[in-house]
A and B are shown apart, each in its own frame.
Chain A
Amino acid sequence: AQSVTQLDSQVPVFEEAPVELRCNYSSSVSVYLFWYVQYPNQGLQLLLKYLSGSTLVESINGFEAEFNKSQTSFHLRKPSVHISDTAEYFCAVSDRFTGNQFYFGTGTSLTVIP
């Protein structure tokens, strides 16, 4: 089974500053990688995903993540955060060949300070 580590449980950052949320996973077998965002009292929304192809993937609201196979990482970045980015962020991985089970990290709470 996979395990996913999100090293930072809470990340405070000032508005318009850059941010990086870290995610590492355990296995080097072929994987699919995802970032989900959860706003208070809501379900999880897909932010971006890596399935194949370019290792750099982007979301429509300015986030990007890079798949690094050698370091088994999928860190999420944004060059300039907004107040509206305040939320919980979850990294998830699934095995490319079995695919049924998603393994989630414990989440990172991003707080954007005005």
Chain B
Amino acid sequence: DAGITQSPRHKVTETGTPVTLRCHQTENHRYMYWYRQDPGHGLRLIHYSYGVKDTDKGEVSDGYSVSRSKTEDFLLTLESATSSQTSVYFCAIRSTGEETQYFGPGTRLLVL
């Protein structure tokens, strides 16, 4: 257990509504990541953060934004959700000098 929680764990929303997912860590890790998991695609990186207010885009960043105003929280926002964003979203953390990423329990999002 790397001290990572994600909220909510499940969410159903409608197309066009904004959605924010939260990743919270308790162990002061520098790096945080958001992935989405889809059948046939494995996990794909959406955005990542390398410090407070320091973020960068991943492979599938279109339609998503992130914010990190404090070390322990990394927020993923879908400004206007679409059905193609129905997925399972995972947060991960990594410490400086540690090469391994550790994953949270995931958020299952359904966009109707």
- The closest CB in chain B to the CB of A51 belongs to B99
Please determine whether A104 and B99 come into contact, CB atoms closer than 8 angstroms: no
Which chain A residues (27-56) contact chain B, with CB distance < 8 Å? 32, 34, 36, 42-46, 49, 51
Which of B14-22, B40-48, B64-72, B77-85 makes up part of the contact surface? B40-48
Establish whether residues A105 and B100, one from each chain, have CB atoms under 8 Å apart when the complex forms: no
Specify the main secondary structure of chain B where it touches its partner: strand
A41 to B64, CA, bound (A): 24
Residue of A nearest to B33 (CB): A102
Interchain nearest-CB distance for B19 vs A (Å)? 20
- Name the distance in Å between B89's Cβ and chain A's nearest Cβ: 11
Main secondary structure of the interface of A (DSSP, over half): strand
A71 at the interface (CB under 8 A from B): no
Q: Is A104 a contact of B44 with CB atoms below 8 Å?
A: yes
Q: How large is the interface on B (under 10, 10 to 19, 20 to 34, 35 or more residues)?
A: 20 to 34
Please tell me if A90 contacts chain B, counting CB pairs below 8 Å.
Answer: yes
**Given A100-B50, A101-B45, A104-B42, A42 and B99 touching (CB < 8 A)?**
no
- The answer to whether A43 touches B100 (Cβ under 8 A) is no
Q: Report how far A46 CA is from B100 CA in the complex, Å.
A: 8
Residues of A within 8 A of B56 (CB): 100
Check B41–A101 contact: CB distance below 8 A.
no
Could you tell me the distance in whole angstroms from the C-beta of B82 to the nearest C-beta in chain A? 23
Question: Chain A residues near B41 (CB, 8 Å)?
Answer: 106
Complex CA gap A1/B92 in Å reads 20
A102 to B33, CA, bound (A): 10
Q: Which of B31, B42, B56, B59 has the most CB of A within 10 A?
A: B42
Q: Among B90, B102, B106, which residue has its beta carbon within 8 angstroms of that of A46? A: B102
Contacting residues of chain B (59-112) with chain A, CB-CB under 8 angstroms: 59, 90, 92, 99-106
Query: Is B58 an interface residue, CB under 8 A from the partner?
Result: yes
Contact: A94 with B104, CB < 8 Å?
no
